[in-house]
Amino acid sequence: MPRATSVIHSHDPAADTVTLSYDDRFRRRMAMTTDGGEGFLLDLPETMELRAGDHLILDDGRHIAIRAADEPLMKTTSPDPHHLTRTAWHVGNRHLPCEVHADHLILRYDHVIEQMLQQLGCTVERLDGPFNPEGGAYGHGRTHGHAH
C-alpha cells in the first residue's frame, strides 16, 4: 500500500484527490481511500492540519490533493459590525471552530448553538459546504493547549 509521508501546498495537477471532513483533516496516521478508489496510508511525522489545496506526497512521487468535504453548516449574520463582533466573542468563548468573514460567521450546524445565535439577535441560515475555520492563536492550524 502506498504511503503519504509529507504534505505541500501546490497548484500543480494531482494524480487523484481525497475528500475529507473538517475532523478528518487533522491527522497523523490513518488509512485513506482516494476519490478514485485507491487505498493509501497517511503516515506523517506529526499530527497536522490538512488544508484544502494541500497535496499529500506518496512514496512513489504521486500527489494526492486534499479537498474539503461539504458539511452541514450555518451562516450567521447580524444587523451591524459591532453586534457581529460581540457574537464572535460568544462563539469563541465556547471554543467553537468558526470561519470569520467581514459580514458573517460560518459554524458547523448545531441546533443548540443555532438557538443561542438567534437569542443573541442574529439571523441564521443553514447551508452545506466545505468548512475551513480560523487556525489557533498559538500556531498554525488547530491547537489543543496553550504551550508556546
What domain range includes position 61? 3-68
Residue 9: CATH number of its domain: 2.60.260.20
Q: Are residues 10 and 51 in the same domain?
A: yes
* Predicted local distance difference test score (pLDDT) of residue 146: 41
50: CB partners within 8 A, 6+ apart? 7, 20, 25, 26, 27, 56, 66
* Predicted local distance difference test score (pLDDT) of residue 22: 94
Boundary-marking domain end, from 43, 68, 93: 68
Any domain includes 33: yes
130: CB partners within 8 A, 6+ apart? 52, 67, 68, 69, 70, 71
pTM, whole model, 2 decimals? 0.82
Any domain includes 148: no
pLDDT by residue, tens only, the chain of 148 residues: 999 999 999 888 999 999 999 999 999 999 999 999 999 999 999 999 999 999 999 999 999 999 999 999 999 999 899 999 999 999 999 999 999 999 999 999 999 999 999 999 999 999 999 999 987 665 445 554 444 3
Any domain includes 142: no
